[in-house]
Structure 1
């Protein structure tokens, strides 16, 4: 977490000390123990984590005693709550709590405060570990299940911690990405406060050889963003071409060095909107599992890429095709699971959603439509289409599975990678290789197609055989559908990031192709996440 300024730190501890001094002057005498415990027990009744914690410790104080350890916990909590906006979380109004700390006089008062401080701890712990939103309530395709920490155990561990401030800081995600996003948030806030990156680039195409005020505006904005050194040139020269290309690469655009409509819109995007994307990315990072796996597969949908990560480093990367933008039921969902096996020479069993949308209507019009597909009955037998009245069925009561057998035109290509899930999403090969030549690759019905599926398979198999290529091709050449187990399952994380960082700390952006991050930002604003009222 970024360090606080010395003046801010002194202010926080001074504010906390007001309550500390008063509490030290009002020790809980033996006669007041019963009043303290009764007030505390009544306050935490019905709150499972607090009831579990205080029942275990005999309803003893951890916040409101006169000892130095109690003072340190109070100060650390107030500091952490004040710092919530640094994480892109809603600010807390602590004035009422500080007033109660200063005014506490009786054992009953202290019992109420004890419960309130523990309640604030739990709320802080939930927010920095889980975020403030439930993904599926924002978008039905954000089906990620956010892990719930054992809050009672964390409160117990905090009570025993020698360094309470460090304990609270350690509750936030510890990933390198989270730390880099925090740094990016600070930097972008400074840009927003300073008024942004300067005047927008005027409408119209700009390309090498152009001159004039629009080129100057382009140059100045790229300088302000850090993509080129200061220059007095008014020409679209080689240095400007390289700066435009660098910007395009960092924003998921075709890096042709020319400013067309799409590139100009990205360059003119205000710093304030970029900051919103970073705040959304911080919330998204809180949703991910803390333990992603020493080896795992990471698919960033907005980046059209799939990577194998080993101990934090990319060991394999390939282009990917993801779900189409329209209709919405083709959007690729976001979730995490475990890859268990691959199927070489796979059959394709048409999902019910695709059957209802595409194939059954065609078969009703022409029973021989899509003749490469077989109808399979409940006994696994192929059924002749001549025996089926397609108009008697809909997608819900259609009694057959629809299968495309292995072959050169199979929709799944030569191999699929399975992490069994209720959404029927997996990674696979494809016969439509030409789609990987396109910059924006939103063409599938939801699954993720890989440009280099064979090499992906070799890398996965490299942990269980000395000859992964030989093993793979010995099975492939049989032409038979064959399941190959992964001896060690590999976690798979399907994510969606419009703001992301590189290992060296550079901040990149991608288009919000499904509109999910816009919905997340609206929900965060509704929950109280704010950016200073400065335009950029």
Structure 2
């Protein structure tokens, strides 16, 4: 993915007639080939297709799609009708132009195709050779496959290597092209819809590119002390200007006084960055203000890429989504958000895995079977220092050798899982649970756990999941949560769960948000997307 320096010239290539000085060395006219006088009943020679693919590195990887597409058409041309290039071709070229303009992505630009297309659009200039018609047909098909693969499937990289274990959305780009040709509708999104979150986030790209073009984003120096309302200093004018340009401050008065309007703007920005909306301008806020528009654009691009991988949401009943960098759980019933709950996720060293599963069980007053890693690294050293450590922490040994005993913690007020846990069986031993350390939910950054997800309002979640069973009420749930005996409850229907990682997103108020890349997943994906060739 590369940024184009001057997009105006590219747009002109699409809109202006080629004047013979285009990509001539690649589009030489073979005058020995008869000129096309009729576009009726054009059929492709399979040998010509093989020759095209062998000489075109960009499209060679789509060989199977090419063959499948034309074979099912009996090798009839797709982009031409009786008058020449069909409306599908015009629609697709316009779509490419619009996408390049929005995304600033030069990899979607094909100068050879543009030159041929413009020559066909100016039918009065000359007739066209069979070779030109063939190349235009195959270049349109190849460019469509390239566009669809990039915009709807995303990178060819193994996404598991990038820390992503949610099954990837499946897109058949051959069937996608066939739908476009058959219906004449080049609004590809109607056939391979990108999720609503993608559309919301991508809509902010023009704004960010405008900020980048304007420049004037010098670093604001850090201060030893935070700035508060009624402070008066030169740097405040710079901060006002920046918040105005970012859209958090309604107007820029260019004064140096920290007034009430700036206080509200600071809180707005802090909420969007997830850094605690106290209204004071401290080191964390200055760090976020100093992130350049170019860096934000890259962050958006990385997150748009992840959104391309996402399978369609579960809209038939309840589902739960957790966004790790946001430290937030969202609970939906069909398309309606029923609640959002603060969560605590794993530390950078014990990161929470990005995956999906099905929540099947609620366990009240749970035992905590201590993972062997925690036993080895934390409990055994503590037991050596204090022989009463297990008893003091309401733990018991259930077996295993002295070198690595099996330890579990009993239900009760000290239990690390709190009063309830929610299980969605998986290979990562991750689940939702309560915690006795309630004070941690007030922190703006909440990566404290060993990998599992601590839920800020577990009782509220349990009530929602059991709401359709009249035998469950608040009293019964309270009783079981405070019990001394573990109680398993199997849900009548499994609830889909997806644990995601998005550091740029648009919230339900339509506001652009950014979060820190706590596990460095953005960094790894950016290395793939923006690698220099």
Shorter chain as denominator, the TM-score bin is 0.7 to 0.9
Deviations 1:436-494 (A, max 9, x none): 12222111011110111011111122244474435534644654323222223222221
TM-score by length of 1: 0.80
Alignment partner of 1:193 is 2:213 = yes
- Match for 1:73 among 77, 81, 88? 88
Structure 2 partner of 1:182: 202
- The change in CA–CA distance for 1:236 and 1:474 in structure 2 (over 3 A counts) is closer
Contact 1:125/1:171 (CA < 8 Å) preserved in 2? no
TM-score scaled by structure 2?
Answer: 0.81
Aligned to 2:503: 498
Mapped contact 1:299–1:307 kept (Cα < 8 A): yes
Moved more, 191-200 or 422-431: 191-200
Match of 1:40 in 2: 49
The residue correspondences of 1:262-411 to structure 2 (distance < 5 A) are 262-294=284-316, 295-325=318-348, 327=349, 330-359=350-379, 370=390, 372-375=394-397, 382-383=398-399, 388-390=401-403, 401-411=406-416
CA shift for structure 1 position 507 = 1.2
- For 1:216, which of 237, 245, 248 is the aligned residue? 237
Measured at CA, do residues 68 and 251 of structure 1 come closer, stay the same or move farther in structure 2, by a change above 3 Å? farther
Task: Write the deviation string for residues 408-456 of structure 1: whole angstroms up to 9, x where unpaired.
Answer: 3222111111221111111111111121122221110111101110111
Distance (Å, rounded) in 1 between the aligned partners of 2:258 and 2:530: 40
Query: What are the superposed Cα offsets for residues 135-194 of structure 1, whole Å, 9 maximum, x if unpaired?
Result: 63653x33233222123322332221132x22x243565433222212211111111111
- Which position in structure 1 is the counterpart of 2:109? 93
Aligned to 1:469: 474
1:40/1:114 contact within 8 Å kept: no
Query: Unmatched 5+ residue regions in structure 2?
Result: 1-6, 23-28, 54-59, 121-126
1:457 equivalent in structure 2:
462
2:40 touches 2:81 (CA, 8 Å); kept in 1? no
Q: Mark the CA change 1:8 to 1:348 in structure 2 (over 3 Å): closer, same or farther.
A: same
Aligned with 1:483: secondary structure?
strand
| Shift, 1:322, TM fit | 0.7
d(CA) in 1 for partners of 2:363, 2:84? 58
The CA distance in 2 between the partners of 1:218 and 1:109, in whole Å, is: 57
**Aligned-partner Cα distance in 1 for 2:76–2:279:** 67
Report if the CA contact (8 A) 1:16-1:74 is conserved.
no
Structure 1 range deviating more: 5-14 or 68-77: 5-14
Partners of 2:38 and 2:82 within 8 A in 1: no
Q: Using the TM superposition, give the Cα deviation of residue 250 of structure 1 relative to its aligned residue in structure 2, in angstroms.
A: 1.8
Q: What does 1:111-260 align with in structure 2 at a 5 Å threshold?
A: 114-132=137-155, 134=157, 136=159, 139=162, 141-163=163-185, 165-166=186-187, 168-170=188-190, 173-196=193-216, 200=220, 203-205=223-225, 206-228=227-249, 229-260=251-282
Separation of aligned partners in 2, 1:90 and 1:468: 58
- Quote the offset at 1:334 in angstroms: 1.3
CA distance in 1, matches of 2:35, 2:194: 35
> Which residue of structure 1 aligns with residue 3 of structure 2?
none
In 2, distance between residues paired with 1:142 and 1:73?
36
Contact 1:88 1:279 in 2 (8 A): no
| 1:138–1:171 CA distance, 2 compared to 1 (3 A) | farther
Check conservation: 1:196, 1:271, Cα contact below 8 A: no
Decide whether aligned partners of structure 1 residues 10 and 24 sit closer, same or farther in structure 2, where only a CA change above 3 A counts.
farther
User: Which residue of structure 1 lines up, in the alignment, with residue 486 of structure 2?
Assistant: 481
- Which deviates more from structure 2 when the two are superposed, residues 448-457 or residues 246-255? 246-255
In the alignment, structure 1 segments of 5+ residues that lack a partner are 376-381, 391-397, 529-536
Conserved? CA contact 1:251–1:510, under 8 Å: yes
- Cα-to-partner distance string for 1:393-417 (whole Å, 9 max, x where unaligned): xxxxx6x754333333222111111
